[in-house]
Amino acid sequence: MRRHLILLLVFLSAITVRATRKEIRINDNWQFRFSWQVQKNSERRVDLPHTWNAQDALSGKQDYYRGTGNYRKLLAVGENLKGKRLYLRFEGVNTVANVFINQKHLGEHRGGYGAFVFDITEFVDYGKENEVLVRVNNSLHLDVMPLVGDFNFYGGIYRDVYLIVTDEQHISLTDFASPGVYLVQDSVSKEKADVTARVMLSNFADARAATLTLNVLDGTKNIFSERKEIQLPNGKNTAKEIGFSLQKPQLWNGKKNPFCYQVEIILSVNGETKDRVVQPLGLRYYRVDADKGFFLNGEYLKLKGVCRHQDRAEIGNALHPAHHEEDMDIILEMGTNAMRLAHYPQASYFYDLADKNGLIVWAEIPFVGPGGYAEQGYVNQLHFRENGKQQLIELIRQHYNHPSICMWGLYNELKTEGDSPEDYIAELNALAHREDPTRPTVAASFLDDANPLIKHSDLIAWNKYYGWYGGSFSDMGTWADRIHGRFPQYKIAISEYGAGASIYHQQEDVKAGEASGWWHPENWQTAYHIGNWKAINERPFIWGSFIWNLFDFGAAHRTEGDRPGINDKGLVTFDRKVKKDAFYFYKANWNTEEPFVYIANRRHTRRTTTETTVMVFSNRPEAELWVNDKNIGKQNADAYATIAWKNVSLQKGRNKIEVKSYLSDNKNIIDSVEWFNE
């Protein structure tokens, strides 16, 4: 620990008076204890990201620890940093964080999914080690969203923490923890883009003249520059604007071409650079038509999406970049072009990955209703309403410049019993449009289509589970046609649809499991998605659909499937090691670039019938089946990338099943399994 402090002190001492901002990640070597551990030497070392619920919540313990944990770190601050401004930036702490420097209270942040920043300049002792203490509480607070949810409320400092050093004049860090630069796309077309850069500035010195320089970069090439002389008053979060236009701009065009310019903002005083911030500029225009769906840059785009929770096995929500990258690779492999990041703001790095890979993103605040559970998602009290507004502002300002984000989500599965949230949702909708007039709002409902809640967002979507929580697959199309006919003005999407599945639950017949029980057969999930996707795909007025869920996720209160504590509706297992059959159904339909064949029902390895159906998912037009080295023949794929051989005979004992598809270069792609016929 002492060596770490010396190295950090040397690093900070190397920052010269003329340097612009420095961002130093300070994730390692924190001391952690629970609030009830008051004895000396009860702390233990942890490195961030960290949650204290990785074990108890994921074991299915419904009363997993929801209370207070203390994180302490010694931070060396050199004498040479006098005259600088020092900030601590927390990317995510769940749920309420109180921050202390040298036992003096800096402030409190309420909300578990947005970033926040504290100015520590006046609280540190220069030339010494300073104690940073963060008291984190993840218990239920009736004045903090969310109040309830079908997911775990992991406690801890589960995202990165930074020490940021700036000059006294700098681009603001404390405007709701935004980057301090908003690139407002006033008007975008293939011919011209008009953009306003709104820059928030802070000055802790005397008022003086300053210069703002804006550069638009295409890779390393500077394609546009603008300078503006300004007066920089003393104070925080002073707004200045620079407008500019680009002729025949290159557009951010989803997965086809996720191109981004980079906009560099430089603040200088008397020719000396004081600060510099770079933000992405992905120029695009889009609209949603109630009859024809979603259009990006004038072209129709069916949004084929997934929902994603930010946790995984063994580590809870304390994810590292490699975890986000693995998730994104799986999303791209399936051919997905859209994501609903539910039910809260997720890591900035994941939005960065969405930008770079051209995915359309629905980002939302954690205004979560109870769904089919007890409790309420809304309490009509001033502090709760104000907290929701704060979290909405944080979401929009922190992620304003991500071109992937095309809609702001206002709520999920709220009810109107008790305190009705209708008026409050209308307030949130108006606030979202004041903060960002360029993007529409959206909401996820499970209420009747005549409920007044659904009228208070620009777009509306429903969570529908026909074939899992009652009903049949065909009900999806029937429902969609009815609501579109009854309310033709609604811009309709499916925000959730899915069915549970365990890779250990296999059966010969395709029969439904019990949604709230212990039997979740994998082949029923496959049949569910085939039936529901057909209904969605055949209706262009459904502008988007979002599978619930891409990955299994932690929900301690669930007692179903093959073990407690897991919602197993994912197409991929919680540890990301196994992609279920339904994953490959979508890959065959959505990913046309990577030829493959996949034998479904492959984990049903012990069979009791002498005849079976061999079902294959493939993005190839045809495939050939071999059973025990005997050629059974070729079959063509149907309109939904499915190939089936019926009444295939199996011999007693071991059976080798092999499927081949031949490519134009005389190569073939093969998948094979072994089934044992008892």
Active-site positions? 413
Question: Which pairing describes strands 611-618 and 563-567: parallel, antiparallel, or unpaired?
Answer: unpaired
User: Coil, strand or helix: which one is 304?
Assistant: strand
Report the DSSP beta bridge partners of residue 1.
none
395 φ/ψ sector (left φ>0, alpha ψ -120 to 50, else beta):
alpha
DSSP for 533-594, written as a single string: HHHHHT-TT--EEEES-SB-EEEEEEEETTEEEEE---SB-TTS--B-HHHHHHHHHH--SS
For residue 163, what are the CA distances in angstroms to 22, 120, 212, 633? 8, 10, 25, 65
For 334, counting Cβ atoms within 10 Å of its Cβ (0-12 exposed, 13-18 middle, 19+ buried), the class is buried
270 to each of 198, 264, 346, 620, how far by Cα in Å? 22, 19, 40, 65
Amino acid at 76: A
Evaluate whether 199 touches 244 at the Cβ level (below 8 Å).
no
Rounded Cα distance, 118 and 370, in Å: 33
Burial 233-257 (b: 16+ CB within 10 A, else e): eeeeebebebebebeebbbbbbeee
Report the relative pairing of strands 441-445 and 459-463 from DSSP bridges.
Answer: parallel
Q: Is the dihedral of CA 445, 449, 455, 457 positive or negative?
A: positive
d(CA 365, CA 111): 10
Number of Cβ atoms within 10 Å of the Cβ of 76: 20
Helix and strand totals (H; E) in the chain: 8, 43
Beta bridge partners of 208: 232
Helical axes 522-537 vs 581-590, angle rounded to 10°:
30
| 3-state DSSP assignment of residue 503 | coil
Is residue 634 within 8 A of residue 622, CB to CB? The reply is yes
Q: Which residues contact 534 (CB under 8 A, 6 or more apart)?
A: 473, 477, 640
> What is the spatial distance between Cα 377 and Cα 387, in angstroms, rounded to a whole number?
13
Q: 604: closest CA among 536, 531, 511, 518?
A: 511
CA nearest to 586, candidates 334, 359, 340, 337: 334
Residue 453: CA count within 13 A, CB half-sphere: 27
Instruction: Give start and end residues of each alpha helix (H) in 203-320.
Output: none
Sign of CA dihedral 613, 619, 621, 624: negative
Residue labelled with tokens 């023949």 = 633
